[in-house]
Amino acid sequence: MPKLSLRHISKRFGKLVIIDKVSFDVYDGEIFGIVGPNGCGKTTLLKLIAGLIKPDEGEIMIDGVKVTHLGPKDRGIRMFFQNYALYPHMKVYEEQRYSNLSFPLRIKKIFGERLRKRVFEVSKRVGIDEGLFLRYPNELSSGQQQRVALGRAITIVPRIFLLDEPLAHLDPLIKLKVRDEIKKLHGELKSTTIYVTNDLPEAFYMADRLAVMGEGKIHQIATPKDIYNYPANEFVRAFIHSYDFFVKGR
């Protein structure tokens, strides 16, 4: 049984069709990548899966159960979106108070040494220096905010993990480190991950399967290698081959 299933999902804003009858399955433990030009509907699709917005048509199922009309907290999903959504009145981490990194743990009634150990473990994984712990979000650079948001998202292992451009604002060295840590963490936890990015080499490195989107539609779903070698149509071919890359053996 698929972990996540979308069936004929559509979303309109006024007369503008953003998502047009999208259907696909994501399987337990895989990294499912979504790529496509800016404005093709990738982030809207993640928001529909997360429950932040409701579809106009279609059904969303997790573990075979319809969740189309459930809110985000009832879906067992963790989200990382481009705007980070850090709590501005909370520091990165404080032991005795609610903070950005500890908030998900405290909500789950995890305290004391167990909480502290998890925060430090996550911080090391995504490159959050302890010197940043007592800062507020507005005292962090964009890249630092991104690392804190990513760290907060992985403090609790989700049923499904949604990542929207998680590495976009990181400098090259940190980007490679965090990319590898996400891949390593996924291998350890086997969490089902949907990974949206505009960086095609990153998508090819991370994803087990890729969906190529354009104008709210899914044009092809296949392994990165098959999409590169056997594009389903001219749109996929033009989009994928506009980048001169491919690592053999992927």
pLDDT at 179: 83
Q: Does position 248 have pLDDT exceeding 50, yes or no?
A: no
pLDDT at 192: 92
Report residue 156's pLDDT band, with 50, 70 and 90 as the boundaries.
confident
> Which range, of 12-21, 55-64, 66-75, 241-250, averages the lowest pLDDT?
241-250
Phi, psi dihedrals of residue 178, rounded to the nearest 5°: -70, -40
pLDDT at 177: 79
What residue spans define the domains of the chain? 1-76+162-250, 86-157
Q: Does position 127 have pLDDT exceeding 90, yes or no?
A: no
Q: Does position 107 have pLDDT exceeding 90, yes or no?
A: no
- The sign of the torsion formed by the CA atoms of 127, 129, 134, 138 equals negative
Q: Does position 250 have pLDDT exceeding 60, yes or no?
A: no
> Which range, of 124-138, 183-197, 204-218, averages the lowest pLDDT?
183-197
pLDDT at 169: 73
SS3 state of residue 104: helix
> Which range, of 76-80, 114-118, 192-196, 221-225, averages the lowest pLDDT?
76-80
Tokens coding 210: 């890729």
Could you report the per-residue pLDDT of 43-95, keeping only the tens digit for each? Answer: 999 999 999 999 999 999 999 999 999 998 888 888 876 666 789 999 999 98
State mean pLDDT over 126-145.
Answer: 91
Tokens coding 19: 């998502």
User: Checking DSSP bridges between strand 77-80 and strand 160-164, what pairing results, if any?
Assistant: parallel
Gyration radius (Cα) of the chain, Å: 18
pLDDT at 84: 64
Q: Does position 180 have pLDDT exceeding 90, yes or no?
A: no
DSSP result, 214-240: ETTEEEEEE-HHHHHHS-SSHHHHHHH
Q: Does position 31 have pLDDT exceeding 90, yes or no?
A: yes
Q: Does position 243 have pLDDT exceeding 70, yes or no?
A: no
Could you report the per-residue pLDDT of 196-220, keeping only the tens digit for each? Answer: 998 899 999 999 999 999 999 999 9
Tokens coding 68: 């189309």
Report residue 128's pLDDT band, with 50, 70 and 90 as the boundaries.
very high
Looking at domain 1-76+162-250, which of 1.20.1330.10, 3.40.1400.10, 3.40.50.300, 3.30.70.380 is its CATH number? 3.40.50.300
Report residue 249's pLDDT band, with 50, 70 and 90 as the boundaries.
very low
Phi-psi region of 169 (alpha: psi -120 to 50; beta: other; left: phi over 0): alpha
Q: Does position 111 have pLDDT exceeding 60, yes or no?
A: yes
174-183 exposure pattern, b = at least 16 Cβ within 10 A, e = fewer: bbeebbebbe
Q: Cβ atoms within 10 A of the Cβ of 230, count?
A: 12
